[in-house]
Amino acid sequence: MTDKIDIKNVAKLAALKLNEDEQQQLEKDLSMIIEHFAALSEMDLPDDKISIHPLGMSLNLAEDIASKSLTHEEALRNAPDSKDGQFVVPPSLD
């Protein structure tokens, strides 16, 4: 597999606008890190017992019961822009 990273595409996926200098620097830095991963990616490892939880536990989900939480006003207080109790964003299309 290729270790060449398409930095423009990855930045697009990550919703990050990068200038030319950043693109060059990050491409270099990330390529170096990815090269370091080669030994791991070539290891022959069994694929049983994979768990996202480090102790292999299942998640303890809360009961689906309404409880006291942030008020509408509190939830909007940190919003960069809001109007009539709603978040305001620019249009989705030009």
Partner 1 sequence: MENHKLSISKINKLFKDKELKPSELYDEVFERAASTESIIHGHLTLFQEENIQKALESNTRYEKGEHLGPLDGIPIAIKDNINISGHVTSCSSKMLANYVSPYDATVITKLKKEGVLFTGKTNLDEFAMGSSTENSAFGPTKNPWDPSRVPGGSSGGSAAVVSAGSAIASLGSDTGGSIRQPASFCGVVGFKPTYGTVSRYGLIAFASSLDQIGPITNNVEDAKLIFNSISGHDPKDATSLIATKTEQPNLNKAKIGIIKELMEDGISEDAKEEVYKVAKLMEAEGHEIVEVSLPLTKMSISIYYLIAPAECSANLSRFDGVRYGARVSGNTSSEMMELTRAEGFGPEVKKRILLGTYALSAGYYDAYYGQALKARAMMKKEFTDIYKQVDYVISPTTPSDPFKFGEKSDNQLEMYMSDLCTIPANLVGMPAISIPTGLSSQGLPLSVQIMSPANTDNTLLDFSQTLQSLVSFIDKPILNRTEK
Shortest distance, CB of residue 23 to partner 1, whole angstroms? 10
Q: Taking CB under 8 A as the rule, does residue 65 contact partner 1?
A: no
Residues 22, 51: Cα–Cα separation, whole Å = 35
CA distances from 60 to 55, 65, 91 (A): 13, 15, 39
**φ, ψ at 10 (rounded to 5°):** -65, -40
Q: Read off the DSSP letter of residue 56.
A: -
Q: Taking CB under 8 A as the rule, does residue 24 contact partner 1?
A: no
Q: What does the longest C-alpha to C-alpha distance in the chain come to?
A: 57
Helix (H, G, I), strand (E, B) or coil at 83: strand
Q: Could you say which of 20, 49, 83, 84 contacts partner 1 (CB under 8 A)?
A: 49
Q: Taking CB under 8 A as the rule, does residue 46 contact partner 1?
A: yes
Shortest distance, CB of residue 33 to partner 1, whole angstroms? 6
Residues that bind partner 1 (CB under 8 A): 1, 5, 7, 10-11, 13-18, 22, 25-26, 29-30, 32-34, 36-37, 39-41, 43, 45-57, 59-62, 70, 74-75, 77-81, 87, 89-94
